[in-house]
Amino acid sequence: MGRKKPGKARRPRVPRQYTLQELQPPGEGYEEWIRVTAGMNPDRIDDPRVSDEALALMKRLVRLGPLYGNKVPKAALYLDDLIDTGQLPIFGDGEKGTLLPLAEAASRFGSQDGDLRESLHNLHAAGMLLLDTDNDHDIAVIRVVAQKPGEPGGPWRFQGDPDAVTAKTCIPDGIWEDLPAEIAGAVMYLRMCRSQLQEPDPKKFGQHEGVNGTAHAKKLFAAALESGAVDEKGCEACPAGHLCTRTED
């Protein structure tokens, strides 16, 4: 009898990555999406009927287009305007907001050595933060996302929401203030793996939006562990496998 030829190894199934538009973010800033034509050059427009304001908007859309797959939500323009002011209004704990100077934002969002504007737009495009509108004061505010939906139609959870955390994984208070967003995301992933008794998979985590492969994932894991937030323990009232971080009253 001849030997059986070994079958081909199956490729691991890569989860579908949805765009920000496909995930249908809530809010007025995501009701309108502007398609940016590749190669559009506002500098070539020579028409007296086109105002300077319209040209400035076109230039802004050309800059933002590649960051959003050439479909730019109105909320991205709100974010760009906020960056221009030099301070970012961030709501991260229910109705409590913070006005964060750009210098502090660079540290918080892990952009000390890069382009903070581009980094914030990348986080927005990846669904790690969203823009909301405060109609009473006619301003836009930033909401930090605790959990985005896995598929279109699912709920968005924001930091500070009572139901922002999954049933078996608590998240330490303050990681979004104390850690860069990409490291805070690694903390969330590692805690989830521990609560579900699963081995962290850097290859799988490296496929997430905002993570550049396995090597980058391993560096984020190391930084997350070094921060101490992965090992933070909670109260004795928590059920088995539940990493609670509630503080005593």
For 177, residues 6+ apart whose C-beta sits below 8 A from its C-beta are: 92, 108
Domain boundary among 109, 137, 160: 160
Number of structural domains (the chain) is: 2
Structural domain contains residue 9: no
Domain residues for 129?
Answer: 17-160
At 122, the pLDDT band (50, 70, 90 cuts) reads confident
Backbone φ/ψ region at 155: left (φ over 0), alpha (ψ -120 to 50), beta: beta
Residue 116 has pLDDT above 90, yes or no: no
Same domain flag for 121 and 181:
no
Rounded to whole angstroms, the Cα distance separating 145 from 222 reads 23
The reported pTM is 0.60
Most confident among 94-98, 128-132, 150-154 (mean pLDDT): 128-132
Looking at the fold, whether 146 and 49 belong to one and the same domain comes out as yes
Within a domain: 3: no
Mean pLDDT of 150-161: 82
* Domain contains 238: yes
Residues 185 and 201 in one domain: yes
Q: In angstroms, rounded to a whole number, what is the distance separating the alpha carbons of residues 146 and 139?
A: 22
The reply to whether 7 falls in a domain is: no
Least confident of 32-41, 86-95, 150-159: 86-95
Q: What percent of the chain has pLDDT over 90?
A: 22
Of the residues 141, 160, 179, which one is the last residue of a structural domain? 160
Quick one: tokens of 66?
Answer: 């590649």
Q: Is 1 within a domain?
A: no
